[in-house]
Amino acid sequence: MDKIDILRSMVNDKWFQGCAAGVGISLASGISILSAIKLWRHIRHSGPCPVSCPASCHGGEKEVAYWNYKRGINLYETSQLFHEYLLFHYGSPEDVLHFDFGLQSSLDFQKRCSDLCMKYVKDDENLRNRALDVGCAVGRTTFELTRIFNEVIGIDSSLSFINACNNLKDLGRMEYKITTEGDLHEDYVAIVDPELDRNCAFFRKGDACCLPLDIGQFGAVLACNVIDRLATPVLFLERLTSLVAPDGVLLITSPYTFSTVFAPKESWIGGYVNPVDGQHVTGFMGLRFHLQKFFDLITEIDMPYVMRSTERTHSCSVSHASVWRRKR
């Protein structure tokens, strides 16, 4: 491709259009047009990669970090990280750590979610017929729910996650790699518990905020760590009234990380100050507001979880889990 072709492709590229502002900042911050083109070709894989960098920087958060680097944005100059570092260096133990879970108790989050839900599903064949796992990612919770449900549907907006779920359903296993350091990786195999009947799990790509009208009712609906990722969470919460069968169970877990990365502030169900009375509105207050008319709160607990990204890098979080029963 010559430069004109590349420029034409860039302008026609939807992803590029979405990032036009970013490129604007890149140019404003002194990166040349040629560098911007190189960067675009690098990320969009159009032709040989003209930028020398590890292959792993092609995806996800590393891509964002790479863009920020190219745009001259230093994360350590952001106000949020500045304050986080003050806490990191000078915070009292009680301020830094609000929970006393050990890392071991943070393992197997998805199994703990399905166990928590199943514990409250009544022993009734109608209620144990169908379950729905919204934001199922790569499917562990969906598969686990087949222990008591005849049919479990996992829905996620990510096609690659749904493809992985279907491969795991077909083969019961999937090979993958985890970065240990830089370009170094370790090989792993994901295995679905052979005791589970994978034929009872079904996966579909879909949007939680716009679920198919003919999807039916469920004895249990789970939305684990997804509510704060939705662009219009209220649409999903309103839909739950018809999705969860009378007496059925709803499990919502969330670390309530509301951010404009996922949804405009106007859509947040919590994490803001009420402009009328100045009160803090938390995510759980938002859930109660939207659910209490049709659901009774059964229990609420803290659920830690840990994700490993490299040999020595982990992220630890604590979700708030609330279990609800659909009023009759």
Cα 175 to Cα 296: distance, rounded to the nearest angstrom: 42
Mask 208-247, x = binds ligand SAM (CB under 6 A)?
xx--------------xxx--xx-----------------
- The residue number with the shortest CB distance to ligand SAM is 135
- The residue from 115, 207, 238, 247 that contacts ligand SAM (CB under 6 A) is 207
Mask 124-143, x = binds ligand SAM (CB under 6 A)?
-----------xxx------
Judged by CB under 6 A, does residue 156 bind ligand SAM?
yes
- The residue from 26, 40, 41, 110 that contacts ligand SAM (CB under 6 A) is 110
* Minimum CB distance to ligand SAM smaller for 40 or for 218: 218
User: Where does this chain touch ligand SAM (CB under 6 A) — which range of 53-61, 99-107, 201-209, 213-221?
Assistant: 201-209
Nearest-approach distance from CB 292 to ligand SAM, in angstroms: 24
Instruction: Summarize as ranges the residues that interact with ligand SAM (CB under 6 A).
Output: 110, 135-137, 155-158, 161, 207-209, 224-226, 229-230
